[in-house]
Chains A and B, each alone.
Chain A
Amino acid sequence: MLNYIIRRVLYGLLVLIGVNLLTFILFFAINTPDDMARINIGGKRVTPDAIAKWKTQRGYDKPLLFNDQAQGVEKLSKTLFVERSLPLFALQFGASDTGRDIGYELRERALPSLALALPTFLLGVFVVVLVSLIMVFFRNTYVEFWSVAFAVFLLSVSGLFYIIAGQFLFSTVLKLVPASGFAGGLDMVVFLLLPVVIGIVSRMGGEALFYRTMFLEEIGKDYVRTARSKGLSESAVLFRHVLGNALLPILTSTVAVLPLLFMGALIMESFFGIPGLGSFTIDAINGQDFAVVRAMVFLGSALYILGLVLTDISYTLADPRVRLA
């Protein structure tokens, strides 16, 4: 068991190294610091001097991998790769291109992000599992037919519409919750209510359909027939036996949702003015702050890989049959 966990963690680390290399290539070799400087300075003010100055100020004035001008070990260490890319592993994010400390920003913004993402995720899974179980409970009736049709419709609507319509309905017309903003402490509930609900609704269509197929898969199995022949009621069969056994595939599929969660947060946070990591990223993309984008790529991938490893582990805990090969 321990052996298996160590192997998974090491593989995760290997993937993270790959991510790091890829981002380095994307942000330094293909989009060179010169290009970044040109985009950032912008317009007619782009002169070789201005570019050189911009690069020196932000420490981009070094070679990529190998420094000819330096001596000894510094030939390797005074390079962009060692100075800008490797420290990410130690979670040293450095300063953004506008001069702010990225690490400080991330610490400040992690809490609002978490306060939004965690309820959306947990409540979302709970609600969707419930909805899809109800669909399965009423299978082959018009209740199921119309709920599937409705889910397909929900699936076909862009997430942006849910946000815009939700804000319009609940903030502008009904004036139940503020349209956007954030506050610390218990006040945040008011601000988070609408984003969480919209986050759940916008994912509900696709996920309810997906979980429904998983439950239907389970329901054809032998143990379900046994449970029914024992005389258990349909609801007992579904909620006790089928739900328990379907949890395993649900567990694996939730990891597939993690990146979506990230993207959802990106848009949700910037629409609702929540000062989290998502809005930070969007601002960085719009302001072409490459240092921040790079840090967020690394952080996002690290979280995803962490989720991957955790699923692998929880998989083995939830089902003793899973071989640890």
Chain B
Amino acid sequence: MSNQTSSTIDLIVPEMAPDAMAGVRVTQARVFRSEWIKFRTLRSSWLLLAVAFGSLATIGIAVNWSTILDFAHMDARELSHFNALDDSMVGFQLTQLAVGVLGILIIAGEYSTGMIRSSLAAVPNRLPMLWAKTVLVAALTFVVSVPASLITFFGSQRVLSSHHLQTSWSAPNVPRTVLGVALYLTVVAVMGVALGALIRNIAGAIATFVGIMLVLPGIAGSLPPTWADRINPYLPPTAGQALLAFRADTRVMLPWNGFALFVAYTVGLLGIAAFMLKRKDA
């Protein structure tokens, strides 16, 4: 890139016009606006939102499509276990990774690049920045997840209807599960923000996130069954995904109780992140 810009350099240091200075001060709303500008001016933001939307909207439909193609080979037992709702929403497994990384990048990305110094010099109280990032990531995740959930649900039922395997919006627990996916993903994204703020390093935060959300339940599953049943329901992902369970399962918490515990974990983590952000050197 050319460095030949000096011809335009002069030594006039323009002072701001007095009327331009009126009302110049930091507010939470302005910090939110700043975070929105930061978000929308990076390609990675849009890429992750697209992955989140695409994975949630299409994977369930594809899975159900494969079921229809394989229908002739399914025996009675397989058909009795078939769950039109679960299979429609299964894409969230990948989507949670995308929105978790989205939350991590919005803050750990600033530490990795040094941008955080500019951000905190502008907002030295620091917390307005964390709140703005949290609200922004939560809002975007929710706004993207709701339509994607509806697309995968109704798309799947349409695919399944050819063999009369579909369920409907008015069936028990369906609205709670379909919209629950969006709520669950929203909290997952906030957990990403909290981990990113705490760990301040993209790779470290992603590793921790994967450890909590994907590895922990697997390890708990390897414990003797009586232990596993005592621990597993209270792990963050299991608790959060209780909201997505379409039929009563004695091995997980009640849907809203589980989700409330998951929210509590995330809020706790965000609280620690806020405390450390305020306290530690940048």
Judge: A and B partners, yes or no: no
